[in-house]
Amino acid sequence: GKQIKLKEVEGTLLQPATVDNWSQIQSFEAKPDDLLICTYPKAGTTWIQEIVDMIEQNGDVEKCQRAIIQHRHPFIEWARPPQPSETGFHHVAQVGLELLSSSNPPASTSQSPKITDLLPPSFWENNCKFLYVARNAKDCMVSYYHFQRMNHTLPDPGTWEEYFETFISGKVVWGSWFDHVKGWWEMKDRYQILFLFYEDIKRDPKHEIRKVMQFMGKNLDETVLDKIVQETSFEKMKENPMTNRSTVSKSIMDQSISSFMRKGTVGDWKNHFTVAQNERFDEIYRKKMEGTSINFCMEL
Ligand code: A3P
């Protein structure tokens, strides 16, 4: 197995390179018109990134093919600030566990080790727009498991049974799915946050893409929207070298183990969870998500 040692920031495991650059990341200066894409890993980051860029480029496919998606939407946690030649927006992914604002102080710090703010404060200070995509926990777990198998910068996931425990306990990069999703869900009415679900985009892409368009303050023709729906389909993005990570070195991502664009479906968890695991998971889910109004679709 791979010997990757993750590091912790305020109780959340992160990749060593992110932690090493932490002060630089935290001092990132967002501009008021920045749009941030925030997701838990494997929730559909690449998909929403491509959708946002397609909208931004008014459906111009060639403009979206100008660079690989990781360069068009630089990840803040990789400390690669956007270049002037790139899109006018800054995009950030996978940051933001348990967001804390001054109006919501922790009752007791010793009791609340999770309360932290992983996002550079300037995003809140500038009242930036946030686009959050959530994906149901079971499919996220499955996708993350296969991602850790093929991604050599992440720890070996072990067996599926082992990974099941690892994921539930939040001992993965960006921490607990439960805390991440709950944290953003609770923040959504206090800031300019468009909260989307992977399952909704899958079921009715045009409807969700239109929401994103409106949130971005754009107005595109129906034909352009239809084109964006087509160009951001799983099949198209799987064969597109600008989105499918095929340009990433095999020593970082070995797609012969598992494709980055793996299945792109809702409900693949049914091919992985045993009946016993499913019952146990549902029980844990109920406890961890108690009091939250969020509702996930588990199959289409
Ligand atoms: P699976 O492993 O279930 O196939 P992220 O970009 O956050 O790392 O998420 C990756 C997941 O999103 C993968 O899930 C990938 O296949 C899926 N995905 C990427 N593009 C997609 C698209 N256009 N439609 C549906 N799913 C997509």
Number of residues written out for the chain: 300
C-alpha angle 99-164-147 in degrees, rounded to nearest 5: 75
Predicted local distance difference test score (pLDDT) of residue 35:
85
Q: How far apart are CA 220 and CA 199, in angstroms?
A: 23
Q: How far apart are CA 221 and CA 277, in angstroms?
A: 46
Find the 283 Cα to ligand 1 centroid distance in Å.
Answer: 27
Task: Please report the atom of ligand 1 found closest to the CA of residue 233.
Answer: 23
- Asked whether 262 lines ligand 1 (CB < 6 A), one says yes
- Asked whether 43 lines ligand 1 (CB < 6 A), one says yes
Find the 237 Cα to ligand 1 centroid distance in Å.
Answer: 9
Residue nearest to atom 5 of ligand 1 (CA): 42
Find the 173 Cα to ligand 1 centroid distance in Å.
Answer: 17
Task: Please report the atom of ligand 1 found closest to the CA of residue 232.
Answer: 23
Question: Residue 1: pLDDT band by 50, 70, 90 thresholds?
Answer: low
- Asked whether 232 lines ligand 1 (CB < 6 A), one says yes
Which pair of structure tokens corresponds to residue 197? 């679900």
Using the predicted structure, report yes or no on whether residue 128 has a pLDDT greater than 90. Answer: no
Where are the extended beta strands (E) located within the chain?
7-9, 12-14, 35-39, 129-134, 193-197
Find the 140 Cα to ligand 1 centroid distance in Å.
Answer: 10
Using the predicted structure, report yes or no on whether residue 106 has a pLDDT greater than 50. Answer: no
Using the predicted structure, report yes or no on whether residue 276 has a pLDDT greater than 90. Answer: yes
Question: Residue 278: pLDDT band by 50, 70, 90 thresholds?
Answer: very high
Whether the complex's predicted ipTM is more than 0.95 is answered with: yes
At CB < 8 A and 24+ separation, what contacts does 220-225 make? 220/55, 220/58, 220/59, 224/58, 224/59, 225/59
Predicted local distance difference test score (pLDDT) of residue 183:
86
Residue nearest to atom 14 of ligand 1 (CA): 264
Which pair of structure tokens corresponds to residue 174? 């960006």
Q: Name the residue with higher pLDDT: 30 or 133.
A: 133
**Ligand 1 pocket mutation, candidates 38, 47, 202, 239, criterion most atoms within 8 A of CB:** 47
List, for residues 9-18, the tens digit of each pLDDT value.
888 899 998 8
Question: Cβ neighbours of residue 142 under 8 Å, at least 6 residues apart?
Answer: 268, 269, 271, 272
Using the predicted structure, report yes or no on whether residue 133 has a pLDDT greater than 80. Answer: yes
Which pair of structure tokens corresponds to residue 199? 């399952």
Q: How far apart are CA 52 and CA 186, in angstroms?
A: 24
Which of 25-39, 177-191, 260-274 has the weakest average pLDDT? Answer: 25-39
DSSP 8-state class, residue 248: S
Predicted local distance difference test score (pLDDT) of residue 83:
52
Using an 8 Å Cβ cutoff, are 50 and 232 in contact? yes
Q: What are phi and psi of 71, to 5 degrees?
A: -90, -30
- Asked whether 268 lines ligand 1 (CB < 6 A), one says yes
Mean pLDDT across the stretch 102-112? 31
- What is the share, in percent, of the chain residues with pLDDT greater than 70? 87
Predicted local distance difference test score (pLDDT) of residue 109:
32
- Asked whether 136 lines ligand 1 (CB < 6 A), one says no
Predicted local distance difference test score (pLDDT) of residue 86:
47
DSSP H/E element including 251:
none
DSSP letters spanning 120-157:
-THHHHTT-EEEEEE--HHHHHHHHHHHHHHBTTS---
Q: Name the residue with higher pLDDT: 85 or 210.
A: 210
